[in-house]
């Protein structure tokens, strides 16, 4: 810490010399926080259990909750889906190339898991689990990491008894000692090495996003820079070039024709509304199931029918019983999803305005 | 549009012919003699004849359409979802040091929320004399300060640990922005609540938390909280953008961006670090032996040549060339930047556009000459504590290859005879 402390001392000194306002006595601004307000927000839980509410939950209950609320991203066994975080496994891999860091293999404190599930999960529907439910989900995550048995019940009382496998795996920042040799007063300026070879090229891996590759960007710069145009070129031409998105690729043309009957203004408005849905749903070409199912072609099609998507039981049942997402049905669902279908997985509260619902349905109809 | 690296793999031969073309162009565009009168000069252009837009056309302006490529970009394969993800500042196309808000990188854990000022509340609780609630208007009544600070995500350059991956300074180094903030010091607010209840401040912490669905929270040692943290509500003179935490965010100068909590809603004085997700499972650095460093808050000194670079190739002919870039350190002011054109064999000291300022970006220039020779372009920053930006090899010797965060290695651009540049690693 020596260098850092020295620096603090000098900054503090400098601060008194520059234009910072003089520290005055209290200004009497703000108002005292009420106990209920503090209770509502002061939810963080520390490693020693400070902040844990009363409650308990079993692995068994946790499994059911996990399947309903978490598995869509984290997998039934907390093994992770796609790029979403894996919560289990990876024990003993931390020194390997590409270690697998999970609650079991990496997280040093159980309090962190409880706190995070309680305040930040489920994604898109945070702060909706009760303390008992959080205890249960955490118990299940422990179970999926073989840290507890299947009959385990996690509670405030036994919370600190759980031993996290990587509890001793951390050291406090030691850069100023372990990397002390990076502090050198006069670095080398000449003949610093004998030879220089290129050992790796980014172009070989080729993972730079396609649409933003250097060369493509360069084409765009060229196209939009009037200096690169023949002198006869008019401003409008440059304007067209500046908006390559305006030139739709041929593949989307049929869809555009089919959607011709739709009010383009309404579709546009719907696209805006759809931003609220985007956290969980994809639509259009290349759309994939995410937290929610693909919505391409949803209007007029059977409920619960997206391939490979695991629907809630009631949605699955509604599909089997022949529910078709007509505009009216969809309208009712989007107004209040949970009222329309109890226990649907869709955690969205609903669209308040009828206009928004009509717009988003028009937008969905524009994809076939 | 079929062009791209995949179907048009550049070959040596093309470099050479490309170089010839550049050479020819250089003659044509050279100062010596124009081939004929320039119609842009000899013919009356529309803009010199027809009027432009009136003052009522654009109440709040965006950049002119010809700059449409200077935008934030993201890398879709990096994260599972764009809601909890990051994008990159187009540093290759900017100059000076201030980052315009509209293209300053964004990192959200649960998306950018929209909160009205009138709905904003900031609570101070925990080991304070009087737990308080402030409205936005309350904050504006405290004495204000202005500071320019860089904010760098700890993961900036994180994709490059194992090798050269992304072709562009925007992607390798664009998780950074630099703005002038106006706000109230955290110290002022803590003192308003009173710290007598906390007793000895040396081992106390301040836990800060955001209002969004991620509840992003971090523990900051009291020493730092009282030193220079700023509760900011303006950036570059105007209100924060929603993606940067409107109406109020925290600035933690020189320390990793994750601590700069956006939509700041709560400040809790505690006697221990909360050890939240973002300070245990994330933002920790696993070394080769499997142990991990925690509390690696300060951003080490770092620099990057922003031009020429893969997205900003040399497009002019031989002769004068401006090499430019950015340097910064989370431990203080930048003292010096050196540039190498031969992959680190020899170095020359660049010119700083202005003397380095603490925890702020510094712009450097090397005004030089280029005659089509290949360059392995590097920059090396030094800060006022004597820290010298290390090579990737030096970093790997200490940290191994399993780190994600705090990669401040010297970057190499391979500038080819045709002026194009590529991200490479050198011995």
Is B272 at the interface with chain A, CB within 8 A?
yes
3-state secondary structure of B207: strand
Is residue A241 over pLDDT 60? Answer: no
Say if the Cβ atoms of B6 and A107 lie within 8 Å: no
pLDDT of residue A250: 37
pLDDT of residue A256: 40
Q: Where in chain B is the domain with CATH 3.90.420.10?
A: 101-293
From A80-84, A157-161, A306-310, B94-98, the region with the lowest mean pLDDT: A306-310
What digits encode the pLDDT tens for the residues A315-341?
888 888 888 898 888 988 998 887 788
> What rounded mean pLDDT belongs to chain B?
92
pLDDT of residue A223: 52
User: Residue B266 CB: number of other CB atoms within 10 A?
Assistant: 25
pLDDT of residue B10: 39
CA B120 to chain CA centroid, nearest Å: 28
The 3-class SS string of chain A reads: CHHHHHHHHHHHHHHHHCCCCCCCCCCCCCEECCHHHHHHHCCCCCCCCCCCCCCEEEHHHHHHHHHHHCHHHHCCCCCCCCCCCCCCCCCCCCCCCCCCCCCCCCCCCHHHHHHHHHHHCCCCCCCCCCHHHHHHHHHHHHHHCCCCCCCCEEECCCHHHCCCCCCCCEEECCHHHHCHHHECCCCCCCCCCCCCCEEEEHHHHCCCCHHHCHHHHHHHHHHHCHHHCCCCCCHHHHHHHHCHHHCCCHHHHHHHHHHHHCCHHHHHHHHHHHHHCCCCCCCCCCCCCCCCCCCCCCCCCECCCCCCCCCCHHHHHHHHCCCECCHHHHHHHHHCHHHHCCCCCCCCCCCCCHHHHHHHHHHHHCCC
User: Residue B7 CB: number of other CB atoms within 10 A?
Assistant: 7
Q: What is the mean pLDDT of residues A71-90?
A: 92
pLDDT of residue B254: 98
Q: What is the mean pLDDT of residues A58-85?
A: 92
What digits encode the pLDDT tens for the residues A168-221?
999 999 999 999 999 997 999 999 999 999 999 887 777 777 654 444 444 544
Say if the Cβ atoms of A215 and B284 lie within 8 Å: no
pLDDT of residue A26: 92
Chain B window 124-143: which residues touch A at a Cβ cutoff of 8 Å?
124-126, 130-135, 138, 141-143
Find chain B residues with C-beta within 8 A of A119's C-beta.
215
Residue A60's nearest CA partner among A2, A140, A158 is A140
**Residue whose tokens read 């109230």:** B184
Say if the Cβ atoms of A217 and B311 lie within 8 Å: yes
Is A198 at the interface with chain B, CB within 8 A?
yes
* Equal CATH topology for A40-161 and A252-365: yes
pLDDT of residue A210: 60
Percent of chain A with pLDDT over 90: 45
Is residue A249 over pLDDT 60? Answer: no
Question: Is residue A148 within 8 Å of residue A142, measured between CB atoms?
Answer: yes
Task: Give the residue extent of every domain in chain A.
Answer: 40-161, 191-247, 252-365
Say if the Cβ atoms of A200 and B286 lie within 8 Å: no
Under CATH, domain A40-161 is a member of which superfamily? Cytochrome c-like domain (1.10.760.10)
Closest CB from B5, B83, B332 relative to A213:
B5
Under CATH, domain A252-365 is a member of which superfamily? Cytochrome c-like domain (1.10.760.10)
The DSSP call for residue B278 is G
> What rounded mean pLDDT belongs to chain A?
81
Helix/strand/coil percentages in chain B, nearest 5: 20, 30, 50
Q: Which CATH architecture has domain B302-424?
A: Sandwich (2.60)
**CA of A330 vs chain B CAs: smallest distance (Å):** 25
- Cα of first residue to Cα of last residue in chain A, in angstroms, is 61
- Closest-CA residue in chain B for A41? B266
pLDDT of residue A21: 55
- The correct CATH number of B101-293 out of 2.20.25.240, 3.90.420.10, 3.20.10.10, 2.30.30.110 is 3.90.420.10
pLDDT of residue A255: 41
The ranges of chain B with pLDDT < 70 are: 1-32
Find chain B residues with C-beta within 8 A of A169's C-beta.
290-292
Say if the Cβ atoms of B346 and A97 lie within 8 Å: no
pLDDT of residue A124: 87
**CA of B74 vs chain A CAs: smallest distance (Å):** 8
CA distance B104 to B392: 26
């Amino acid at each position: 810490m020596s260098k850092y402390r020295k620096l603090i001392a000098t900054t503090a000194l400098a601060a008194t010399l520059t234009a910072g306002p003089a520290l005055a006595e209290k200004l009497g601004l703000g108002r005292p926080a009420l106990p209920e307000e503090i209770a509502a927000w002061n939810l963080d839980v520390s490693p020693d259990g400070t902040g844990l509410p009363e409650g308990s939950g079993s692995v068994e209950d946790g499994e059911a909750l996990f399947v309903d609320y978490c598995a869509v991203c984290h997998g039934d066994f907390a093994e992770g889906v796609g790029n979403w975080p894996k919560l289990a496994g990876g024990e003993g891999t931390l020194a390997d190339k590409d270690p697998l860091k999970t609650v079991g293999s990496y997280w040093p404190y159980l309090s962190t898991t409880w706190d995070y599930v309680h305040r930040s999960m489920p994604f898109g529907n945070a702060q909706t689990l009760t303390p008992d439910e959080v205890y249960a989900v955490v118990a299940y995550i422990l179970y999926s990491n073989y840290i507890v048995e299947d009959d385990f019940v996690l509670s405030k009382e036994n919370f600190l008894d759980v031993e996290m496998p990587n509890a001793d795996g951390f050291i406090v920042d030691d850069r100023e000692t372990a990397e002390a040799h990076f502090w050198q007063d006069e670095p080398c300026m000449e003949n610093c090495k004998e030879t220089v070879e290129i050992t790796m090229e980014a172009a070989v891996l080729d993972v730079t996003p396609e649409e933003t590759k250097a060369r493509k960007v360069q084409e765009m710069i060229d196209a939009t820079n009037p200096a690169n145009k023949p002198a006869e070129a008019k401003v409008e031409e440059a304007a067209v070039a500046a908006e390559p998105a305006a030139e739709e690729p041929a593949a989307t043309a049929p869809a555009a024709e089919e959607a011709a009957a739709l009010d383009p203004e309404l579709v546009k408005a719907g696209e805006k509304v759809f931003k609220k849905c985007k956290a969980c749903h994809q639509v259009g070409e290349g759309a994939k199931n995410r937290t929610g199912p693909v919505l391409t072609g949803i209007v007029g099609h059977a409920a619960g029918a997206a391939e490979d998507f695991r629907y809630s039981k009631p949605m699955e049942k509604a599909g089997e019983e022949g529910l078709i997402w007509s505009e009216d049905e969809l309208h009712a669902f989007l107004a209040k999803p949970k009222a329309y279908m109890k226990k649907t997985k869709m955690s969205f509260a609903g669209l308040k305005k009828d206009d928004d619902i009509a717009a988003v349905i028009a937008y969905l109809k524009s994809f076939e | 549009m079929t062009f791209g690296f995949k179907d048009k793999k550049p070959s040596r031969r093309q470099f050479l012919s490309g170089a010839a073309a550049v050479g020819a162009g250089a003659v044509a565009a050279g100062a010596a003699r124009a081939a004929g009168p320039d119609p842009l000069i000899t013919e009356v252009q529309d803009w010199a004849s027809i009027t432009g837009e009136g003052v009522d056309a654009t109440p709040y302006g965006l950049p002119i359409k010809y700059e449409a490529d200077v935008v934030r970009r993201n890398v879709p394969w990096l994260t599972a979802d764009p809601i909890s993800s990051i994008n990159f500042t187009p540093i290759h196309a900017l100059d000076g040091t201030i980052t315009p808000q509209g293209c300053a990188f964004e990192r959200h854990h649960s998306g950018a929320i929209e909160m009205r000022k009138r709905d904003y509340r900031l609570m101070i609780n925990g080991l304070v004399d009087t737990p308080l609630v402030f409205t936005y208007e309350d904050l504006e009544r405290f004495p204000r300060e202005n500071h320019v600070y860089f904010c760098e995500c700890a993961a900036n350059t994180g994709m490059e640990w194992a090798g050269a991956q992304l072709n562009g300074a925007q992607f390798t180094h664009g998780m950074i922005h630099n703005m002038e903030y106006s706000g109230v010091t955290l110290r002022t607010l803590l003192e308003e609540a009173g710290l007598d209840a906390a007793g000895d401040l040396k081992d106390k912490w301040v836990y800060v938390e955001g209002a969004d669905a991620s509840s992003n929270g971090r523990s900051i040692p009291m020493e730092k909280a009282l030193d220079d943290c700023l509760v900011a509500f303006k950036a570059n003179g105007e209100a924060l953008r929603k993606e940067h935490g409107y109406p109020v965010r925290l600035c933690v100068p020189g320390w990793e961006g994750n601590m700069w909590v956006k939509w700041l809603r709560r400040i809790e004085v505690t006697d221990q670090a909360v050890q939240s997700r973002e300070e245990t499972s994330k933002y920790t650095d696993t070394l080769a032996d499997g142990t991990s460093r925690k509390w690696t808050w300060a951003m080490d000194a770092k620099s990057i040549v922003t031009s020429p670079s893969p997205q900003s190739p040399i497009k002019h002919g031989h002769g004068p060339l401006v090499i430019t870039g950015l340097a910064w350190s989370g431990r203080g002011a930048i003292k010096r930047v050196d540039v190498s054109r031969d992959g680190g064999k020899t170095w020359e000291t660049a010119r700083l556009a202005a003397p380095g300022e603490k925890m702020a970006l510094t712009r450097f220039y090397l005004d030089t000459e280029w005659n089509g020779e290949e360059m392995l372009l590097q920059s090396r920053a030094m800060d006022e504590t004597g820290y010298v930006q290390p090579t990737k090899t030096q970093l790997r010797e200490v940290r191994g290859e399993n780190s994600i965060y705090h990669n401040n290695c010297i970057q190499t651009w391979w500038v080819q005879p045709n002026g194009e540049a590529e991200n490479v690693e050198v011995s």
